[in-house]
Amino acid sequence: MAKISYVNGSYVHHAEAAVHIEDRGYQFSDGIYEYVAFYNRKMVDADLHFKRLERSLKELQITMPVSIAALSIIIRELIERNGREDGGIYIQITRGVAKRDHAFPKNTKPALVVTISASKLPSAELISKGMKVITQPDTRWARRDIKSISLLGNIMAKQAATEVQAREAWLVDGVNVMEGSASNAYIVTKSGEVVTHPATHAILGGITRDVVLKLARANKIHVSERVFNTVEMVDAAEAFMTSTSANVLPVVMIDNRRIGSGKPGPITLQLQELYAKHITEQTGKQF
């Protein structure tokens, strides 16, 4: 089945999907995105993703090109046309086409692109063994809460990780651990407390993060949304990351230092199971 994508009102063959060279997304990274998982053709936490999408647009003064109801129909149609049961939906909205100038005209027509891809879920082996992370300096701008397509800091850090066969780079600002290049970062202290950076302007408030913290609290796991540093990180009993594409993934090695026992810890595994159940409830997908 040929891959079909959505571009500004049309469903087109993916190979022919294109935007104008003066789209401000192309020239300035002037735009935002969302990535939503789906299983059995049903989206996971669509409402939360759409809410974040609207917030990102508002922060950058970009108008929503279609209603959320219309966007949901486009997504459903695209899943059908691509014949995929499980996968990811990439939604990108840029400010649109304008003559190149840093300041933006008020009347550009925002561009909407939606693509569907195969699920990027890590292998069962990685999920059960846990993964390797490296730390990298956080070189990003100060509004990391906006899911902007401007991702140079993220991609350079992820590339550094990939080159040493690590799955993710944890971004460190001074001595503080902020988040991963495309995920949120957590430690579990020796007293069993889950610690993660608070959802300020300094990190992206992950949807998976929101759900996992809620599930943790509902299951009487102690949670502390506070800044933690690299000393606490290497001294932790457990570590893990969360994202839409990886769900809850144990971290067992950071910068070649073993975390805790070097195996996925009990609290991480409990949260992994709770989150899998959360997806099953919404979509029927069994893990």
- Which positions are catalytic? 147
Those residues whose C-beta lies under 8 Å from the C-beta of residue 57, and which sit 6 or more positions away, are 32, 63, 64, 93
Provide the mask over 29-48, with x wherever binding to ligand PDD is found by CB under 6 A and - wherever it is not.
------x-------------
204 binds ligand PDD (CB under 6 A): yes
Residues in region 227-286 near ligand PDD by CB under 6 A: 242-245
Sole window of 1-9, 100-108, 181-189, 219-227 interacting with ligand PDD (rule: CB under 6 A): 181-189
168 binds ligand PDD (CB under 6 A): no
**C-beta of 97 vs 211, nearer to ligand PDD:** 211
Binding residue (CB under 6 A) for ligand PDD from 23, 30, 168, 179? 179
Provide the mask over 61-100, with x wherever binding to ligand PDD is found by CB under 6 A and - wherever it is not.
----------------------------------------
The least distance separating ligand PDD from the CB of residue 34, rounded to whole angstroms, comes to 8
209 binds ligand PDD (CB under 6 A): yes
Binding residue (CB under 6 A) for ligand PDD from 113, 157, 207, 252? 207
Sole window of 58-66, 129-137, 202-210, 228-236 interacting with ligand PDD (rule: CB under 6 A): 202-210
Sole window of 57-65, 178-186, 255-263, 279-287 interacting with ligand PDD (rule: CB under 6 A): 178-186
* Residues that bind ligand PDD in the complex, under the rule CB under 6 A: 35, 154, 179, 182-184, 204, 206-209, 242-245
